[in-house]
């Protein structure tokens, strides 16, 4: 065996993370708190280590090992070892990599410790190691997975010196039409301290608040090493933002490639989701753009959320954190205070959103209302015009409508879509809600009709039909998983085509549009998850950004078209009125009544070991924690708050076998 396994009796010294136990559970995640480690195999006890020798604790980068081990620091390596340093150690007869997670550890009694084998290079600073420990507890995963995210893509042997920023070469402000009145006062309020949600309309230039935050570099107790972290939804946006800040004279580290510059501090660290663990020694401020975007949620376990990680880091460093969003989710609104521009400014930042009520349409018209056909032919008739049609065809619920009155079949409790129960239950088994599980007979709540019709859609077929209607070739864009992250499709080049159709990937692929039309928005509004309304609003915001700010010319054709059988849905009304608070209020009422996040905490368990783990959790769950399942092989755990949920997950030993634990699942 390599070093000594950290046990409940060892005490961390001055370099340890405050409030962290000497070692995590052998089969469970690391957590900030007080659980003793489960004993593991130890080296043969011999004489006690010299008490004056320096001892550090190391988390090995081995997927199957969740234990931490103590090692001696050789004198030759002493100056290079600190909390966060990447090292190499001997463990179970082989050499493995790892991170120093505590320094100045009291040596264990009666055990001879092995020394560190080598120093590999710089790793995350102590503050980020502490952050990784918190995130490992919060999302029920191994701390090493998060330390890996926080580490450089290649080994870093030395850090660059702090260099002065370059002189500004050009004004980096956006066009006047994309600015808000009294912007300096608004940015000042958002950056005054603590966490704030800055609600800015889709067409507003968000780069200004980033520049305001960038001016805080070097401020605070940490002095010149304090930096600012900025998160963008994608690496492309991050690169553009980094270039803009450099033009403005700021010292910028684009992550992950400029990790060493960020580790040295005194700069603006810009990146996508992983930049939540930016290696700045100290934080002066933080900004997360489009904080509502689901791209900030890691799909692999641990399923951590980037804006929540950034907000926690800012809280620990007593730095302002600004979460920017045109349509903040309830999670955001409950985590920070809200800062908004004037209603007039917010309305100017949204284009016209036109609702096409399809409840009375002849069903033989399919997806194509008269208003939509007119827009398609307008685009085909003039050079430079562009209409983008959005139709999500994968991963969406199959909708049903009453054959008599056309009303969608919806749950009267949560508003979700109702579907026929399994064929095994019989033709008259009734309907069931995919969100909350409510069951009811196959009867239309509007007119009492008993005959339902399925609504089926598809991008490929729709492209062929639109080509006939518009009389021009139509480009198709979709994000095929087999093709990687770049959207692919068929037909002409999407950038030059006057009409483009695709899944929501088309909203990321294109830079502008005159009209964005959602052919079947009900598939978004009724998706089988509690956050469906918020995600639908997010799509409207993306579309609004393509179209641009509200035009002053009454003849301007630019707009977002929404075809729906639910014109009164809060998400639709919020977009039409440029008032996201309308959706937030409605969501708050429903989720509060059902105890759904953020008014409760949730985790989903899946995989071959889920049954054993779910049963173990149910056996020890305290009052207020509900363990449900199995349902289709999965288990659910619900609690009143994350402290109760995550403590239970951390305290319960996991059985052997593959197990996926999703805390705050997006698809629930």
> What is the arithmetic mean of pLDDT over 431-441?
72
- 52-56 long-range contacts, CB within 8 A, separation 24+: 53/107, 54/78, 54/103, 54/104, 55/104, 55/105, 55/106, 55/107, 55/113, 56/15, 56/81, 56/100, 56/102, 56/103, 56/104, 56/105, 56/116
pLDDT for position 412: 72
Which residues, other chains included, contact 525 with Cβ-Cβ below 8 Å and sequence gap of 6+? 532, 533, 536, 564, 566, 569, 571, 572
> Is position 291 within any domain?
yes
Domain that holds residue 187: 177-347
Residue 230 sits in the same domain as residue 317: yes
**Other Cβ atoms within 10 Å of 59 Cβ, number:** 27
Q: How far apart are CA 308 and CA 195, in angstroms?
A: 11
| Confidence grade of residue 481 (pLDDT, cut at 50, 70, 90) | very low
Residue 27 sits in the same domain as residue 142: yes
pLDDT for position 400: 67
> Is position 409 within any domain?
no
Residue 249 sits in the same domain as residue 140: no
Beta carbons of 201 and 241 less than 8 angstroms apart: no
Beta carbons of 323 and 233 less than 8 angstroms apart: no
**Of 314, 347, 380, which residue sits at a domain end?**
347
423 pLDDT above the threshold of 60: no
**Other Cβ atoms within 10 Å of 168 Cβ, number:** 12
**Of 316, 347, 378, which residue sits at a domain end?**
347
Residue 102 sits in the same domain as residue 217: no
The larger pLDDT score, comparing residue 174 to residue 652, is at 652
Which residues, other chains included, contact 585 with Cβ-Cβ below 8 Å and sequence gap of 6+? 570
Beta carbons of 248 and 166 less than 8 angstroms apart: no
Q: Which of 224-238, 240-254, 452-466, 605-619 has the lowest mean pLDDT?
A: 452-466
Q: How far apart are CA 424 and CA 426, in angstroms?
A: 5
> Is position 652 within any domain?
yes
> Is position 495 within any domain?
yes
Summarize pLDDT for 286-295 with one digit per residue, the tens: 999 999 999 9
pLDDT for position 455: 54
pLDDT for position 552: 81
> What is the arithmetic mean of pLDDT over 333-357?
96
Residue 181 sits in the same domain as residue 284: yes
Residue 280 sits in the same domain as residue 227: yes
Residue 144 sits in the same domain as residue 182: no
> Is position 159 within any domain?
no
| Confidence grade of residue 3 (pLDDT, cut at 50, 70, 90) | low
Q: Write the CATH number for 544.
A: 3.40.50
Rounded to 10 degrees, the C-alpha dihedral 595/597/603/604 comes to: 90
Q: How far apart are CA 626 and CA 307, in angstroms?
A: 27
Residue 197: strand pairing partners: 323, 338
Cα-based distances in Å from 115 to 40, 54, 70, 139: 20, 10, 9, 32
What single-letter DSSP state applies at residue 3?
S
Summarize pLDDT for 166-179 with one digit per residue, the tens: 555 444 544 555 67
**Other Cβ atoms within 10 Å of 77 Cβ, number:** 17
> Is position 591 within any domain?
no
Summarize pLDDT for 123-170 with one digit per residue, the tens: 999 999 999 999 999 999 999 999 999 999 999 999 999 866 655 544
660 pLDDT above the threshold of 90: yes
Percentage with pLDDT > 70 across the chain: 81
Residue 486 sits in the same domain as residue 627: no
Counting Cα atoms < 13 Å in the Cβ hemisphere of 635 gives 22
Laid out side by side, the sheet with 55-60 consists of 4-5, 69-72, 55-60, 94-103, 86-91, 118-121
- Identity of the highest mean pLDDT range in 15-24, 32-41, 56-65: 56-65
Beta carbons of 323 and 197 less than 8 angstroms apart: yes
Element (H, E) at 572: helix 570-576
322 pLDDT above the threshold of 80: yes
453 pLDDT above the threshold of 50: yes
Which has the closest alpha carbon to 203: 528, 549, 434? 549
Element (H, E) at 562: strand 559-564
pLDDT for position 142: 95
> Is position 49 within any domain?
yes
Residue 225 sits in the same domain as residue 309: yes
Bridge-based pairing state of the strands 660-663 and 601-606? antiparallel
> What is the arithmetic mean of pLDDT over 607-630?
95
pLDDT for position 24: 33
Summarize pLDDT for 182-204 with one digit per residue, the tens: 889 999 999 999 999 999 999 99
Residue 42 sits in the same domain as residue 146: yes
> Is position 183 within any domain?
yes
What single-letter DSSP state applies at residue 541?
H
Beta carbons of 105 and 629 less than 8 angstroms apart: no
Summarize pLDDT for 353-375 with one digit per residue, the tens: 999 999 988 777 789 999 999 99
Summarize pLDDT for 203-216 with one digit per residue, the tens: 999 999 999 999 99
> What is the arithmetic mean of pLDDT over 541-556?
90
Tokens of 509: 């692929």
376 pLDDT above the threshold of 70: yes
Q: Write the CATH number for 640.
A: 3.30.70
Beta carbons of 517 and 389 less than 8 angstroms apart: yes
What single-letter DSSP state applies at residue 75?
G
Cα-based distances in Å from 198 to 193, 272, 292, 539, 658: 13, 19, 11, 19, 41
Summarize pLDDT for 5-36 with one digit per residue, the tens: 664 333 333 233 222 333 333 334 444 433 23
Residue 335 sits in the same domain as residue 376: no
**Of 347, 378, 406, which residue sits at a domain end?**
347
Tokens of 558: 């630019």
Bridge-based pairing state of the strands 337-339 and 418-420? unpaired
Cis peptide before 630 (omega within 30 of 0): yes
Residue 340 sits in the same domain as residue 360: no
| Confidence grade of residue 415 (pLDDT, cut at 50, 70, 90) | low
Question: Which class for 482: exposed (0-12), middle (13-18), buried (19 or more C-beta within 10 A)?
Answer: exposed
How many domains is the chain partitioned into structurally?
4
Q: Write the CATH number for 286.
A: 3.40.50.300
């Amino acid at each position: 065996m390599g070093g000594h396994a950290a046990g409940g009796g060892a005490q961390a010294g001055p370099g340890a993370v405050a409030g962290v136990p000497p070692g995590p559970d052998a089969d469970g995640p690391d957590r900030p708190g007080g659980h003793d480690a489960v004993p593991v195999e130890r080296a043969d006890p011999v004489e006690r280590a010299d008490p004056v020798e320096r001892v550090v604790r190391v988390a090995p980068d081995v997927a199957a090992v969740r234990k931490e081990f103590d090692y001696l620091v050789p004198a030759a390596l002493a100056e290079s070892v600190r909390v966060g340093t990447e090292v190499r150690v001997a463990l179970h007869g082989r050499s493995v990599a790892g991170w120093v997670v505590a320094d100045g550890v009291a040596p264990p009694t009666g055990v001879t410790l092995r020394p560190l084998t080598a120093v590999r290079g710089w790793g995350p600073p102590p503050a980020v190691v502490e952050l990784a420990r918190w995130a490992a507890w919060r999302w029920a995963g191994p701390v090493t997975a998060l330390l890996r995210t926080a580490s450089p893509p290649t080994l870093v042997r030395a850090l660059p010196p702090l260099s002065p920023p370059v002189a500004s070469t050009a004004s980096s402000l956006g066009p006047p039409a994309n600015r808000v009145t009294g912007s300096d006062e608004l940015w000042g309020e958002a950056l005054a301290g603590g966490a704030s949600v800055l609600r800015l309309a889709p067409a507003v230039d968000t780069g200004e608040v980033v520049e305001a935050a960038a001016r805080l570099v070097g401020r605070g107790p940490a002095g010149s090493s304090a930096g600012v972290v900025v998160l963008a939804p994608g690496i492309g946006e991050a690169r553009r933002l980094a270039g803009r800040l450099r033009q403005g004279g700021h010292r910028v580290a684009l992550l992950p490639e400029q990790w060493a510059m960020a580790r040295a501090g005194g700069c603006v660290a810009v990146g996508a989701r992983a930049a939540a663990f930016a290696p700045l020694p100290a934080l002066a401020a933080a900004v997360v753009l489009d904080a509502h975007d689901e791209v900030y949620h890691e799909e692999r376990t641990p399923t951590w959320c980037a804006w929540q990680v950034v907000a926690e880091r800012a809280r620990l460093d007593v730095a302002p954190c600004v979460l920017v969003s045109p349509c903040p989710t309830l999670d955001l609104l409950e985590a920070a205070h809200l800062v908004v521009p004037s209603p007039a400014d917010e309305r100017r930042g949204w284009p016209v959103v036109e609702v096409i009520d399809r409840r009375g349409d002849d069903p033989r018209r399919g997806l194509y209302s008269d208003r939509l056909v007119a827009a398609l032919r307008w685009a085909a008739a003039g050079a430079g015009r562009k209409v983008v049609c959005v139709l999500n065809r994968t991963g969406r619920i199959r909708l049903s409508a009453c054959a008599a009155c056309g009303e969608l079949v919806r749950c009267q409790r949560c508003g979700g879509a109702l579907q026929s129960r399994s064929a095994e239950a019989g033709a008259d088994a009734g309907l069931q809600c995919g969100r909350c599980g409510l069951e009811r007979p196959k009867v239309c709540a509007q007119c009492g009709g008993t005959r339902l019709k399925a609504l089926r859609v598809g991008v490929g077929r729709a492209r062929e039909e639109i080509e006939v209607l518009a009389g021009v070739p139509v480009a198709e864009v979709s994000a095929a998983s087999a093709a990687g992250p770049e959207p692919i499709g068929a037909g002409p080049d999407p950038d030059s085509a006057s009409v483009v159709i695709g899944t929501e990937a088309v909203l990321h692929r294109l830079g502008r549009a005159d009209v964005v039309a959602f052919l079947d928005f009900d598939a978004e509004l009724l998706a089988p998850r509690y956050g469906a309304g918020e995600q639908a609003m997010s799509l409207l915001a993306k579309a609004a950004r393509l179209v641009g700010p509200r035009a002053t010319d009454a003849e301007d054709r630019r707009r977002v078209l929404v075809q729906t059988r639910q014109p009164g849905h809060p998400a639709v009304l919020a977009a039409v009125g440029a008032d996201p608070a309308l959706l937030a209020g409605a969501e708050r009422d429903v989720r509060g009544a059902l105890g759904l996040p953020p008014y409760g905490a949730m985790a989903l368990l899946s995989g071959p070991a889920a049954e054993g783990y779910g049963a173990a959790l149910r056996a020890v769950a305290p009052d207020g924690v509900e363990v449900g399942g199995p349902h289709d092989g999965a288990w659910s755990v619900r609690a009143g708050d994350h402290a109760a949920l995550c403590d239970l997950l951390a305290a319960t030993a996991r059985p052997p076998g593959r197990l996926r634990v999703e805390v705050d699942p997006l698809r629930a």
